[in-house]
A and B are shown apart, each in its own frame.
Chain A
Amino acid sequence: MAKAQKGQVRVITGNAAAAYGAMLCRPDVATSYPITPMSEVAEQLSAFRADGLVDTEMVEVEGENSAMNVVTAASMAGGRVFTATSSWGLVFMYDAVQQASGFRAPVVMAIANRETPGILAVSGGQQDIISMRDTGWIQIIVEDCQEILDSVIMAFRLAEDFDIQLPVMVNYDGFYLSYLATAVEIPEREDADQFLAPLKQQPERPRLVPGEPLSCGTHGIEIGFMELRYKHCAALERATAKLDEIDKEFGEIFGRSYGGQIEEYRTEDAEIVLVTSGSATGTARTVVDAKRAEGIKVGLVKLRLFRPFPRKRLAEALKGKKAIGVIDRSVGFGWNCGPMYMEIRALTPEIGIIPMLSYIDGLANLDITIPHIERVIDEVSAAAQGKPYQEVTWIPMEE
């Protein structure tokens, strides 16, 4: 494919970046229902529609549950669909979210991550996506506004790939990224079209056509259901390598790539590794550089793909290291540790028995600061040297 021309650079928020990404993919049907901090995505898409930039059917639904049902059905009829939500909105569509993946509907949904139940926390956190772990969706977590836009475009390639046909969530930190305005390069329309063009060459997926005898979502007990689940899980497994491919191709065309499933930073010769996701990664990169200057051999892994879990690539990145620290912006109820930490611990057979430290930080808009990350690196470094360590640390609770 030809290299893309230089796109216009504009200062836009993370929400606007999500809307631009969606607009460039020309969805047939999109839904909007406002929720803080994602409402701007809906507003921006409606503005694109009003300005004639897209001919998307915009449905202003009466709740998020309907939003997911609208796009799932439109997808099953053959359409390209997009929606966006956050927090309680995501929870409110929980039944429909599972139906979408069960139907293998290639829905793309942007999520401005925000805290869920408890005291009303209108603030950032990743608890909402943790509650979606077992819904059978592909979950991508991004770091900055440019990555939001690019990942939405890539998400359509991944979701609608004939070998995948699964819905994709593109997650970005609410408040931190949703309202952060930075310079973002907006690809030209023909370049986005070119990037998505391979989807048109693949076999057509089954679609619901009025009058044609086909039922969608029928009753399937025993072997039929088991086969459905088996194929669903197999498609999720295929999505890992597929994301790497798509990310690489995107890089060749647009000059920006993000490592696919994970992004490794200075891990090659690292003795200890820090694992982060989302916007905290930027801060972590700065601290890793500073610690490297002090002579500490620390590396960083940004977890981009949360479901399916990038087991193989993570194991390769973490194998042979002396200690690992994982920072979670959510909690794993019943395990009293970070959910991502918990999952990385499950890779112990592949990476070996080494100190693994869980850090819970940044809930409900508390900042994951430079001193916090310095502390994490110092403690992981000490653990690597055989010093005693605490397995789980709730950073702000100990300050």
Chain B
Amino acid sequence: MVEGTKKRNKIFDYFREKEELYAGGVAWCPGCTLELTARFVPKVLGKDMVLVGCPGCSAPVFYGQNVGTWHRMTYYSCLMTGVPSSATGLARYYKKIGKDATIVCFTGDGCAADIGFQPLSGAAERNENIIYICYDNEGYMNTGYQRSSTTPLGAWTSTTPVGIAGKGKPTPSKNMPLIMAMHGAVYVATATLSHLEDFAKKLLKAKEKKDEGFAYIHVFAPCLMGWRIEPDSSIEVCRAAVRTNYFPLWEAENGKFRLTHEVASPKPVTELTKLMRKFSHLKEDGLAELQKVADERYALIKSLCDASK
């Protein structure tokens, strides 16, 4: 349920009325937020699209495991270096032959922010008619919880371990959604699974604007295994990320920034960090550093929203 609503939210209609495009049991971890994202996107956007993806947590289902894929969608898989460029090739060809097509890139943060960043930046600059959805689980969760450039400051990962000398990741995360907005993309938004109605609106807006050009949606998608979260609390983690302003929900439409869910009295980030064990080694000073990053980033996005008014 989306918070604050009494009557049944219309978000449930997406699940009730739309055709199920996935096999019933798929190779994702129980409680995985990526699974919810992957199932939700075609429910909202419809199946007449081409999904473009690469190796990562989404791959076992989209690629299938020898026997065939575990879905009934049109899917193009490529290497982690080639997602937005492959999507460009598809979009340009369909444009050439006059075929209406929705091209949706669907990758994790490792592809979007690290190894596949160059083609992402290039496609955004060329204003290609594609929608890029990044499910950000703040690291290389599929290969065993290694750090990526969206891993937050101080977080434990298998390549930023904690010990006598190790203190978790020494640098803050790359601010991907803002970087993409600075490309001047037609539409950029953040979304997460605790606020599905907000997410749905953003997906629809991205589709509506696809003929104008490039759209990017950055989805906060906690990883139960890598972040060390209890399996029943993944949505709670999403909600805490929004309530603490660690992950503010905003959109930038043609350069106009707007908070889509303003938090009246934000909680401290410790309300988020206490829900997982990847920050459990952090002492007061480490948590204060993390709070500082969150505060600064929120102030920045707030000022951009204020300036857009």
Chain A interface residues toward B at CB < 8 A: 28-29, 55-57, 59-63, 65-79, 81, 95-96, 99, 208-222, 224
Contacts and interface: CB of A to CB of B under 8 A. Distances in A.
B99 interface: yes
27 contacts: A28-B93, A28-B96, A29-B92, A29-B93, A55-B96, A59-B88, A62-B118, A65-B119, A69-B78, A69-B81, A69-B82, A72-B89, A73-B82, A73-B86, A74-B90, A74-B92, A77-B93, A78-B97, A81-B89, A99-B78, A210-B48, A210-B101, A213-B72, A218-B69, A218-B77, A219-B60, A221-B66
Given A28-B96, A99-B79, A213-B74, A65 B85 contact: yes
B76 A65 contact: no
Given A29-B96, A76-B76, A78-B97, 11 more contacts: A55-B96, A62-B121, A65-B82, A66-B119, A69-B85, A72-B78, A73-B78, A73-B82, A210-B99, A215-B75, A219-B60
A355 B64 CA distance: 53
A66 B122 contact: yes
B77 A211 contact: no
B69 A72 contact: no
A60 B92 CA distance: 12
B74 A209 contact: yes
Q: Which of A77, A211, A212, A217 has most B Cβ within 10 Å?
A: A77
A28 B98 CA distance: 12
Contacts of A70: 85-86, 88-89, 92
Q: Which label, helix, strand, loop or mixed, suits the secondary structure of the B interface?
A: mixed
B105 to A, nearest CB: 11
Contacts of A214: 74-75
Contact of B93 (A63, A74, A222): A74
Nearest to B100: A210
A65 B81 contact: yes
Contacts of A78: 93, 97
A69 B76 CA distance: 11
Q: For A60, A68, A208, which residue has the most chain B Cβ atoms within 10 angstroms?
A: A208
Interface residues of B, number: 48
B24 interface: no
B49 to A, nearest CB: 6
Contact of A62 (B68, B77, B78, B125): B125
A222 B50 contact: no
B73 to A, nearest CB: 6
A395 to B, nearest CB: 39
Contacts of A55: 96
Contact of A95 (B79, B118, B119): B79
B74 A74 contact: no
A71 B122 CA distance: 15
A370 B97 CA distance: 52
A219 B119 contact: no
A209 B81 CA distance: 23
Interface in B108-141: 118-119, 121-122, 125-126
A211 B93 contact: no
B47 interface: yes
A211 B69 CA distance: 15
B15 interface: no
B59 A69 contact: no
B298 interface: no
Nearest to A209: B74
Contacts of B66: 219-222, 224
B89 A74 contact: yes
Contacts of B125: 62
Q: Which of B59, B85, B122 has the most CB of A within 10 A?
A: B85
B12 interface: no
B87 interface: yes
A284 B271 CA distance: 78
B241 to A, nearest CB: 32
Contacts of B14: none
Contacts of B50: 208, 210
The 9 closest A-B pairs by CB, nearest first: A62-B122, A73-B89, A69-B82, A66-B85, A69-B85, A74-B89, A73-B86, A219-B63, A211-B48
Q: Which of B88, B92, B96 has the most CB of A within 10 A?
A: B92
B91 to A, nearest CB: 9
Given A77-B89, A210-B49, A219-B64, A61 B95 contact: no
A221 B67 CA distance: 9
A73 B119 contact: no
B74 A208 contact: yes
B126 A59 contact: yes
A219 B96 contact: no
A52 to B, nearest CB: 15
Contacts of B87: 73
A214 B81 CA distance: 22
A62 B71 CA distance: 33
Nearest to A77: B93
Nearest to B84: A66
A52 B97 CA distance: 17
A219 B75 contact: no
B118 A96 contact: no
Interface in B178-192: none
Contacts of B28: none
Nearest to A56: B96
B46 to A, nearest CB: 8
A75 B47 CA distance: 22
B107 interface: no
A168 B48 CA distance: 32
A68 B66 CA distance: 26
B308 interface: no
